[in-house]
């Protein structure tokens, strides 16, 4: 087995069609979600994908799936030296590293999903073939209500903003030679427009007990290895409006000499992004890890 492994937890995107065999921790999380009005097991069993993709249900479902897969990998002796998460995935990464409990994380994620599902009046778009610097300059020239939300690759940037300004920025990016893809999301996530939701989430985060990471933790807000408890908490408080620094996150894994990074969640979005960012790390899915790729 390769010795230097990273666990990467995905954000809102691909929703699982089923959960892996659940351990004791996962069962507790499913019960907590059920009590909060998020019947994950029933929705998966009934195949109600139209409800599962809604932000309110998608976020806790992806979180529980990620924690279940983290538990499954660890039970097989596949242990990470570092963890990181993309947007929503940061909560699973913090739980995996022991900074916050999975139960506390789920409670925040449930509220986060509900708050984000009620945000309207804008959206997001992926910009391909243009650098971060070019896209950021276009956003600055377009107006204050559009910004870079995710730096997912050297030439894969996501922008977020109110409808009118977002469309102007999309047109400007297209004119600059970029390929523009409107994303099917319910609002302008990772933008200052989510400041009211961030303010509502803050008391929940402040009430959680934060502990020193047992496993190294790289924040996708700073893109750096973070070990100070108060710094981690401060970053999480701003996460819902902050840009996702995924390229910097992966570069931090390279500096840590990670050999293999496992996507611990549904789909292979982070696996594909990682392969485009660097050739120095082997990126694999959860299923590939179980099949003996590590």
Lowest mean pLDDT among 43-57, 133-147, 177-191, 204-218: 43-57
pTM of the model: 0.95
Tell me if the domain spanning 122-182 has CATH number 3.40.309.10.
Answer: no
Query: Domain limits of the chain?
Result: 5-118+192-293, 122-182
Helix or strand or coil: residue 124?
strand
Q: Is 190 a catalytic residue?
A: yes
Please pick, among 68, 87, 96, 219, the residue that the annotation labels catalytic: 87
Q: Is 87 a catalytic residue?
A: yes
Interval 113-167: pLDDT, tens: 999 988 878 999 999 999 999 999 999 999 889 999 999 999 999 999 999 999 9
What class is the 5-118+192-293 domain? Answer: alpha beta
Helix or strand or coil: residue 108?
helix
Please pick, among 66, 97, 132, 190, the residue that the annotation labels catalytic: 190
DSSP state of 210: P
Bridge partners (DSSP) listed for residue 261? 6, 283
Cα first-last separation, the chain: 5
Interval 248-294: pLDDT, tens: 999 999 999 999 999 999 999 999 999 999 999 999 999 999 988 67
Bridge partners (DSSP) listed for residue 283? 261
């Amino acid at each position: 087995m390769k010795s230097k492994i990273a666990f990467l937890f995905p954000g809102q995107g691909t929703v699982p069609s089923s959960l892996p065999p659940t351990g004791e921790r996962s069962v507790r999380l499913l019960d907590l979600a059920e009590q909060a009005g998020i019947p994950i097991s029933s929705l998966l069993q009934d195949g109600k994908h139209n409800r599962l993709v809604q932000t309110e249900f998608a976020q806790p479902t992806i979180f529980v799936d990620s924690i279940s897969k983290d538990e499954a990998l660890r039970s097989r002796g596949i242990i990470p030296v570092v963890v990181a998460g993309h947007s929503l995935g940061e909560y699973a990464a913090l739980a995996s590293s022991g900074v916050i409990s999975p139960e506390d994380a789920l409670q925040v994620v449930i509220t986060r999903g509900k708050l984000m599902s009620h945000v309207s009046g804008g959206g997001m778009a992926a910009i391909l073939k243009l650098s971060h610097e070019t896209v950021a300059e276009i956003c600055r020239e377009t107006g204050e209500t559009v910004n870079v939300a995710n730096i997912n690759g050297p030439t894969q940037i996501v922008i977020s903003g109110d409808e009118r300004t977002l469309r102007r920025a999309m047109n400007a990016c297209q004119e600059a030679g970029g390929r523009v893809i409107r994303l099917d999301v319910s609002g302008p996530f990772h933008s200052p427009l989510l400041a009211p939701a961030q303010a509502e989430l803050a008391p929940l985060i402040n009430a959680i007990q934060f502990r020193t990471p047992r496993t190294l933790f790289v924040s996708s807000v700073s893109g750096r290895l973070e070990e100070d408890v108060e710094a981690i908490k401060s970053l999480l408080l701003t996460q819902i409006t902050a840009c996702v620094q995924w390229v910097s996150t992966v570069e931090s894994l390279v500096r840590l000499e990670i050999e293999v990074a496992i996507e611990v969640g549904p789909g292979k979005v982070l696996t594909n992004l990682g392969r485009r960012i660097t050739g120095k790390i082997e990126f694999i899915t959860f299923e590939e890890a179980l099949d003996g790729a590590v």
